[in-house]
């Protein structure tokens, strides 16, 4: 190879070459966070199943010339408009946070290394690598120093792959040890993981129990509308003998309330507002269903360093082994710190304490990895030096090992500086993944490097919050178990710390140990993954927090992965949620927001689906009465309502209250079984409302020869009964009561009183409550319906181990 080629290899591309390549379209043009475009947002909110159904029904009503009865068409505008506005706001929040939280590769241009955005990488760029760096494009290794790449995100194989010069690396993998550089050979959509990353990072509401449950309900309702519509149109046209216009209006009035038109809207708003609220707390939600997942979390696995403690450290003491040369050891530590291309928090603390680099030249390197828990440098005549965990490198029976244990039990972080009689890269015996030291030669302890870690001031309050919410916290760390236990104990976490090297290999025994324990030390990356799986096997929903490359596998397998913003690029890439402010204390707000979203959607789902059930029942009762009238020769009963009636019936029982309730505080932990749980209230309540309304209309209907006034009075009677019971369903769903909920209920009652008493409203909506006998009948039947709904609620609450006075689980229900 020529000297010029070698120079190019070292210095990377020039800025002129970069500009030319970019103009040729040879840049990494895949968006870092592929949120939906505005065009997609508009299309997704306008062309929906519900809008299509309502649109067809609107055209039918308008064809009869009754514009007032087409008021429900405003729901199409509301559903689309509000959904579009909220999702665009959420998109803006996500995009702004994604720019802050994205991994930034270090490229070498004109001989200078600097960070750039992933989409600024061009074909042929020279990209530097260090522990925790994610590989953003495909390439060929041109420099390697003990470089190990984890490709598990692509291949599923957890073992790291050693890479040498000319080896190929794929986007989506990440560095676990060593350093090096690679040249970009495939960028943009040509890169191996580009399409996977683009699809995985879209702003989406799919792949959640909540959304799939709602979709199933909507699909079932669509199927029900076909026979219901056929029955109603048959009854209106043939049995009741109405003309086409009134018959079509009756059919539309029967079908419109079957559609839970606001349910999808409220769900979208609740999720979007959740994203915006979390964004204001510097929390990036990379996958929207993570909000739902966090609401279901009952176990949080937290790393100690960077989560319970601050990232930064400082040297507390250099405890030299008897007869040791303190000056030499200081030089060794200074050299080790100076020669580490990607120092972690411990090495940074050493560099701060020993800033005078002796200028030695290293002859061999053994980079640190989470598996073996030590690193090493050989300096020729100056010796071979190891820096790592004392309980890994030392015989536990030695005095120096006991000293390290005592220091660790006080919550200090302890490293061992040791020398070896062999170069650090000498082939060693043992498998680091099995916990063997794999240290070459005879290891001689020279000093204990004791570091102080500062516990986060907000850590205790965060752990107390989780305890109050029945969420178990497991501290899982690669540090010494005694040290981890000391930190956890100072924060109120009880239990004896467990050394992960003693964990059972049997899956069931491991699950028992992890479930019963709270603090674990010396945990290898593969063990973190196994522990998450063990908890999941016991039915737990697990959130894993972490910031280091050793947390990636566990984050990937956890139900919810939470990464710190200052963590490695690989960690941020696999996590569903990134805490950009690096505050563990933000997590309770995230969990609380998830609970608010899911709990409130469940509340409003009860309202919408109660309306669907009573509308379907009423349509079938009226339709069947028409069929039976042909068989038994009695007068058929037409549908009692106009489309305007069913519109106003939803205003104050569902529409406005659902919007308010969807944004209200709610701290109840989400549980599985959304559809069955909602139906347990919606089905009996809907059956009661539909039956009571039918009976009320049956008693008020004066037959086919009734005057227009009598028809209006009969419809009004049925509507009063329906509204009374529907308002009570709202009162049940709103429990437990606080002042604003009482105000909401009072406002709903007042709203309907005004509609039924103001002459203009009575004329516009064709309401006539002036027949006192019929109005009294409506109120009495409504009262009976209220008692039935209340009884159904208490029976359902008792069967589920809950209190009928509240939506919160009772003590029995939590056991």
For CATH 3.40.1110.10, list the domain ranges present in the chain.
309-455
Q: Return the closest-CA partner of residue 138 out of 99, 83, 193.
A: 193
Intervals of CATH 3.40.50.1000 along the chain: 283-308+456-580
725/43: higher pLDDT: 725
Check pLDDT > 70 for residue 152.
Answer: no
Mean pLDDT of all residues in 543-554: 80
Residue 1: exposed, middle, or buried by beta-carbon count in 10 A (0-12, 13-18, 19+)?
Answer: exposed
What residue has token string 């004392």? 390
CA distances from 65 to 60, 73, 541 (A): 9, 14, 55
Q: Is 479 a catalytic residue?
A: no
CATH 1.20.1110.10 residue ranges for the chain: 210-255+591-807
**Residue 37 pLDDT more than 80?**
no
Of the candidates 688, 699, 710, the one whose C-alpha atom is nearest the C-alpha of residue 783 is: 688
Burial class of residue 528 (count of CB atoms within 10 Å of its CB; 0-12, 13-18, 19+) = buried
Only one residue has tokens 């020729």, namely 380
Main-chain phi, psi angles of 364, to 5 degrees: -160, 150
Residue of 5 and 248 predicted with greater confidence: 248
Collect all residues with Cβ–Cβ distance below 8 Å to 774 and sequence separation of at least 6. 699, 700, 713, 714, 716, 717
Count CB-CB contacts under 10 A for residue 673.
11
Residues in the chain: 815
pLDDT in tens, 585-612: 888 888 888 788 788 888 888 888 888 8
**What span, in angstroms and rounded, lies between the C-alpha atoms of 555 and 563?**
8
- The pLDDT of residue 730: 92
Give the rounded percent of residues in the chain with a pLDDT score beyond 70.
84
Structure tokens at 636: 């058929």
pLDDT digits (tens, 9 = 90+) for 668-709: 766 667 777 888 888 899 999 999 999 999 999 888 778 889
* Cβ 184 vs Cβ 137: under 8 Å: yes
Taking each helix axis as running N to C, give the angle between helix 261-280 and helix 587-632, from 0 to 180 degrees, rounded to the nearest 10.
180
Task: Output the CA–CA distances (angstroms, integers) from residue 505 to 301, 350, 477, 512, 592, in the order listed.
Answer: 20, 37, 18, 12, 36
Range with lowest mean pLDDT among 149-158, 210-219, 601-610, 801-810:
801-810
Lowest-pLDDT range of 97-101, 202-206, 380-384 = 202-206
pLDDT in tens, 78-122: 667 766 776 777 677 666 655 555 667 889 888 888 888 888 888
At residue 786, the pLDDT reads 95
Residues in contact with 395: Cβ distance below 8 Å, sequence separation at least 6, in sequence order: 401
Residue 787 pLDDT > 90, yes or no?
A: yes
Residue with structure tokens 């005592």?
A: 406
What is this structure's pTM? Answer: 0.67
Overall average pLDDT of the 287-314 stretch: 78
Report the DSSP beta bridge partners of residue 452: 314
Question: Can you tell me the distance from the alpha carbon of 670 to that of 245, in angstroms, rounded to the nearest whole number?
Answer: 47
Q: What is the pLDDT at residue 669? A: 66
- In terms of DSSP H, where are the helices of 235-288? 244-255, 261-280
> Which architecture does CATH list for 309-455?
3-Layer(aba) Sandwich (3.40)
Six-digit token string for 220? 């079932």
Q: Which two tokens stand for residue 622?
A: 């009226």
CA distance 96 to 87: 14
What is the Cβ-side half-sphere exposure of residue 13, based on CA atoms within 13 angstroms? 21
CA distance 689 to 730: 12
User: Token match 């009772």: residue?
Assistant: 810
According to DSSP H, which parts of 758-799 are helical? 759-764, 772-799
Do residues 420 and 445 touch, judged by C-beta distance below 8 A? no
pLDDT band, very low/low/confident/very high, at 201 (cuts 50, 70, 90): very low
Over residues 431-439, mean pLDDT: 50
Dihedral of the alpha carbons of 559, 565, 570, 573, in degrees to the nearest 10: 60
Q: How many CB atoms lie within 10 A of CB 329?
A: 20
Mean pLDDT of 560-574: 78
The confidence score (pLDDT) of residue 780 equals 96
Q: How many CA atoms lie within 13 A of 313 on its CB side?
A: 26
To 5 degrees, how large is the angle CA 439–CA 155–CA 569? 70
Token duo for residue 471: 């969420």
Which pLDDT score, from 0 to 100, does residue 158 have? 57
Alpha helices in 469-586 (DSSP H): 481-490, 507-516, 525-537, 552-557, 569-574
CA angle, 71 then 74 then 75, to 5° = 110
Give pLDDT, residue 203: 37
Ranking 263-277, 358-372, 532-546 by mean pLDDT, the lowest is: 263-277
- What is the fold, at CATH topology level, of the domain defined by 283-308+456-580? Rossmann fold (3.40.50)
Mean pLDDT of 299-320: 82
Give the pLDDT score at 620: 83
Cβ–Cβ under 8 Å, residues 136 and 120: no
- How large is the average pLDDT for residues 634-662? 80
pLDDT attached to residue 176: 79
Enumerate residues 6+ apart whose C-beta is below 8 A from 742. none
Nearest to 678 by CA among 181, 32, 184, 220: 220
Position 344 pLDDT exceeds 80: no
Cis previous bond, 198, omega within 30: no
- What is the signed CA dihedral for 266, 272, 273, 275, rounded to 10 degrees? 150
Find out whether 393 and 437 touch, Cβ atoms under 8 Å: yes
Banded model confidence at residue 303, pLDDT cuts 50, 70, 90: confident
What gap in Å lies between CA 658 and CA 514, rounded to an integer?
42
Widest CA span of the chain, in angstroms? 115
Average pLDDT over residues 279-295: 76
Identify the H or E element spanning 21: helix 15-23
Fold of 210-255+591-807: Calcium-transporting ATPase, transmembrane domain (1.20.1110)
Task: For residue 116, list its beta bridge partners.
Answer: none
Mean pLDDT of 124-150: 85
The span from the CA of 579 to the CA of 592, in Å, is 15
Neighbouring CB atoms inside 10 A of 628's CB total 13
- Tokens encoding 79: 């559903």
DSSP labels, 541-574: -EEEEE-SGGGHHHHHHSSEEEEETTS-HHHHHH
Question: pLDDT-based confidence at 435, cuts 50/70/90?
Answer: very low
Q: Are 311 and 582 a contacting pair, CB within 8 Å?
A: yes
Q: Which of 303, 551, 559, 768 is catalytic?
A: 303
Residue 372: other Cβ atoms inside 10 A: 26
Kindly report, residue by residue over 742-777, the tens digit of the pLDDT.
999 999 999 999 999 999 999 988 899 999 999 999
Kindly state the tokens that stand for 166.
Answer: 């000319």
The pLDDT of residue 717? 95
Of 62, 590, 16, the residue nearest 286 (C-alpha)? 590
Distance CA 544, CA 563 (A): 8
Cα 382 to Cα 334: distance, rounded to the nearest angstrom: 13
- What mean pLDDT comes out for the span 227-254? 71
């Amino acid at each position: 190879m020529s000297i010029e080629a070698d120079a190019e290899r070292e210095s990377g591309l020039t800025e002129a070459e970069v500009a030319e390549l970019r103009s040729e379209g040879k840049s990494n043009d895949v968006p870092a966070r592929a949120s939906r475009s505005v065009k997609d947002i508009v299309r997704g909110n306008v062309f929906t199943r519900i809008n299509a159904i309502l649109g067809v029904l609107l055209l039918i009503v308008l064809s009869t010339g009754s514009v007032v009865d087409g008021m429900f068409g405003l729901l199409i505008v509301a559903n689309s408009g509000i959904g579009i506005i909220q999702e665009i706001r959420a998109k803006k929040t996500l995009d702004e946070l994604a720019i802050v939280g994205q991994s930034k590769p270090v490229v070498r241009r004109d001989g200078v290394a600097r960070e750039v955005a992933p989409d600024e990488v061009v074909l042929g760029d020279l990209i530097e690598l260090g522990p925790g760096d994610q590989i953003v494009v495909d390439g060929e290794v041109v420099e390697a120093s003990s470089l190990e790449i984890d490709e598990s995100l692509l291949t599923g194989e957890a073992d790291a792959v050693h890479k040498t010069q000319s080896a190929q690396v794929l986007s989506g993998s990440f560095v676990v040890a060593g350093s090096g550089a690679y040249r970009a050979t495939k960028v943009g959509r040509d890169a191996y993981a580009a399409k996977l990353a683009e699809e995985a990072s879209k702003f989406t509401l799919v792949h959640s129990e909540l959304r799939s449950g709602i979709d199933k309900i909507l699909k079932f309702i669509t199927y029900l509308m076909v026979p219901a519509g056929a029955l109603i149109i048959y009854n209106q046209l043939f049995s009741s003998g109405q003309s086409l216009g009134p018959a079509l209006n009756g059919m539309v009035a029967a079908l419109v309330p079957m559609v839970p038109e606001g349910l999808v809207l409220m769900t979208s708003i609740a999720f979007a507002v959740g994203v915006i609220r979390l964004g204001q707390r510097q929390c990036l939600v990379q996958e929207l269903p993570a909000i739902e997942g966090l609401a279901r979390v009952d176990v949080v696995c937290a790393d100690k360093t960077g989560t319970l403690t601050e990232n930064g450290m400082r040297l507390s003491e250099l405890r030299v082994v008897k007869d040791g040369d303190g000056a030499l050891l200081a030089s060794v530590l200074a050299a080790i710190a100076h020669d580490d291309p990607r120092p972690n928090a411990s090495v940074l603390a050493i560099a701060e304490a020993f800033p005078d680099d002796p200028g030695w030249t290293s002859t061999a390197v053994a980079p640190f990895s989470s598996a073996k828990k030590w690193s090493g440098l050989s300096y020729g005549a100056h010796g071979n030096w190891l820096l790592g965990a004392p309980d890994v490198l030392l015989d536990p029976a030695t005095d120096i090992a006991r000293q390290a244990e005592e220091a660790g039990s006080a919550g200090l972080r302890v490293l061992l500086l040791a020398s070896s009689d062999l170069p650090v890269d000498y082939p060693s015996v043992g498998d680091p993944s099995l916990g063997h030291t794999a240290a070459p030669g005879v290891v001689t302890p020279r000093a204990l490097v004791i570091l102080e870690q500062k516990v986060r001031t907000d850590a205790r309050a965060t752990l107390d919050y989780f305890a109050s919410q029945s969420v178990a916290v497991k501290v899982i760390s690669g540090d010494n178990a005694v040290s981890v236990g000391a930190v956890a104990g100072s924060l109120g976490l009880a239990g004896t710390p467990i050394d992960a090297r003693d964990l059972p290999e049997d899956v069931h025994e491991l699950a028992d140990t992890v479930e019963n324990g709270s603090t674990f030390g010396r945990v290898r990356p593969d063990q973190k993954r196994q522990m998450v799986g063990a908890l999941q096997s016991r039915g737990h929903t697990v959130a894993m927090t972490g910031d280091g490359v050793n947390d990636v596998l566990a984050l990937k397998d956890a139900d919810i992965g939470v990464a710190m913003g200052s963590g490695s690029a690989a960690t941020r890439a696999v996590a569903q949620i990134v805490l950009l402010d690096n505050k563990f204390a933000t997590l309770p707000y995230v969990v609380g927001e998830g609970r608010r979203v899911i709990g409130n959607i469940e509340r409003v789902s009860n309202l919408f689906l109660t309306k669907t059930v009573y509308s379907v029942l009423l349509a079938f009762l009226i339709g069947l009465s028409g069929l039976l009238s042909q068989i038994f020769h009695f007068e058929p009963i037409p549908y009692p309502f106009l489309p305007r009636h069913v519109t106003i019936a939803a205003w104050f029982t569902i529409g406005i209250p659902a919007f308010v309730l969807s944004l209200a505080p709610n701290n109840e932990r989400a549980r599985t079984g959304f559809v069955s749980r909602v139906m347990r209230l919606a089905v009996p309540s809907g059956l009661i409302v539909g039956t009571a309304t039918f009976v009320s209309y049956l008693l008020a209907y004066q037959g086919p020869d009734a005057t227009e006034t009598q028809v209006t009075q009969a419809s009004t009677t049925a509507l009063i009964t329906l509204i009374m019971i529907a308002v009570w369903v709202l009162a049940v769903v709103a429990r437990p009561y606080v002042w604003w909920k009482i105000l909401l209920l009072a406002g709903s009652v007042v709203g309907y009183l005004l509609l039924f008493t103001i002459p203009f409203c009575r004329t516009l909506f064709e309401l006539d409550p002036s027949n006192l006998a019929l109005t009294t009948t409506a109120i009495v039947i409504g009262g009976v319906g209220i008692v039935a709904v209340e009884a159904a609620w208490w029976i359902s609450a008792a069967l589920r181990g809950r209190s009928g006075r509240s939506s919160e689980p009772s003590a029995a229900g939590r056991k």
